Structure 1
Amino acid sequence: MTRQLQLLLATTMPRKAVPGRGVLDPSVTRLRVHPGDLDLYLHVNNGVYLQMMDVARSNFIADLGGFGPLKEAGWFPVVAASTVKYRRSLQLWDRFEITTRVLGWDERVVYLEQVFTRQGDLCARGLLAGRFLARGSGERVPAPDVVALLGRDVVPPELPDDVAAWSRAVDVAHRTV
């Protein structure tokens, strides 16, 4: 429940925008493991990682100053697909960082990487395909339109091979046929 409250605050009372921050610049969220994050084995529950990723993505949007423009456009983000690879456990009171960055986009979704590190050691890596919907109608907003709103004239980088393969495997990639 604590991460849901943290997400609520990160979304309704976002941190200040970072001047000059671009869509392709990484965003860092610093967190600490709380008792409510733990499972019976006393390490962070796998589902809590997803909630932490939600908080970090809200901070990413805040760093861009994106909440105002998105609200004005009537668009909101949703997760189309995600996967996480776990390397090292996070345990009670550990301080760690989540670095969120855009890897690229196609006509349908924006692809993000979210990396968990503790004192420089990789703990987990999440990949996410995010989509934006129009409030009220639920219509999909093309990813290039969202990037244009948040990042102005940004050229999409080539998607890493592993992410492109994953996007096809989970059927979120843009289809030309």
Structure 2
Amino acid sequence: MIQLALATTRPRPAVPGRGLFDPSVTRLRVRLGDLDFYRHVNNGVYLQMMDVGRSNYLADLGAFSLLKERGWYPVVASSTMSYRRSLTLGQRFEITTRLLGWDPRCAYLEQTFSRGDEHVARGVVAGRFLGRDGSRIAAPDVIGLLGTHDGPSPELPADVRAWAEAVGVAHRDQPAG
């Protein structure tokens, strides 16, 4: 929780020339409070660590001041995780966050956990932005604010597209009439 508070209230400096599709790397170490009864990182803690990674991704883009000016803030609409290896006390690891694409409703990010060359876990997040007035901000509007990408979203990977549809976060065309 302390890492997340610091990442959002005192974001790291923007990375000059950083693009929307450039990966953002967050380096962390497993602390005692991250562990569960079985002495490995608790599955819920992975989600908090992913929050830190997404905050750092936004910081790398210089997004915090732009979002604050408009009264917009990020929320998670849905997330999914797959685990391959455990992380244990004291181990250093990295979370690599990258934008996969977006639809009119959500931006989709992949967050991979690795320890050295070893793949530990993968999370996929459907993120939304809300306004302080309760409004929902269209993902393309946020993309336009934060990046230099002028075209449509790249095609989402098939597994991410299927997941977004299955959990109901993917944009759905409104029926006529």
Partner in structure 2 of residue 31 of structure 1:
28
Matches of 1:138 and 1:85 in 2, distance apart?
A: 32
The gaps in structure 2 that reach 5 residues or longer are: none
Partner in structure 1 of residue 145 of structure 2:
149
Q: Which amino acid aligns with 2:89?
A: L
CA-CA distance at 1:153 after TM superposition: 3.2
* Structure 1 residues 114 and 154: alpha-carbon distance in aligned structure 2, compared to 1, 3 A threshold: farther
Deviations 1:66-123 (A, max 9, x none): 0000000110000000010000000000100000000000000000000000011110
Deviations 1:40-70 (A, max 9, x none): 0000000000000000000000000000000
TM-score of the two chains, using structure 2 as the length reference: 0.96
Partner in structure 1 of residue 17 of structure 2:
20
TM-score of the two chains, using structure 1 as the length reference: 0.96
* CA RMSD across the alignment: 0.7
Partner in structure 2 of residue 76 of structure 1:
73
> Which runs of 4 or more aligned residues in structure 1 lie more than 2 Å from their structure 2 counterparts after TM superposition?
152-155
2:34 is aligned with 1:5 = no
SS of the equivalent of 1:76 reads strand
**In the alignment, which of 83, 88, 93 is matched to residue 91 of structure 1?**
88
CA-CA distance at 1:6 after TM superposition: 1.1
The gaps in structure 1 that reach 5 residues or longer are: none
Matches of 1:61 and 1:153 in 2, distance apart?
A: 15
**In the alignment, which of 130, 133, 138 is matched to residue 134 of structure 2?**
138
Matches of 2:11 and 2:105 in 1, distance apart?
A: 26
Matches of 1:153 and 1:111 in 2, distance apart?
A: 15
Structure 2 contact 53–97 (Cα < 8 Å) conserved: yes
- Which is worse superposed, 99-108 or 154-163? 154-163
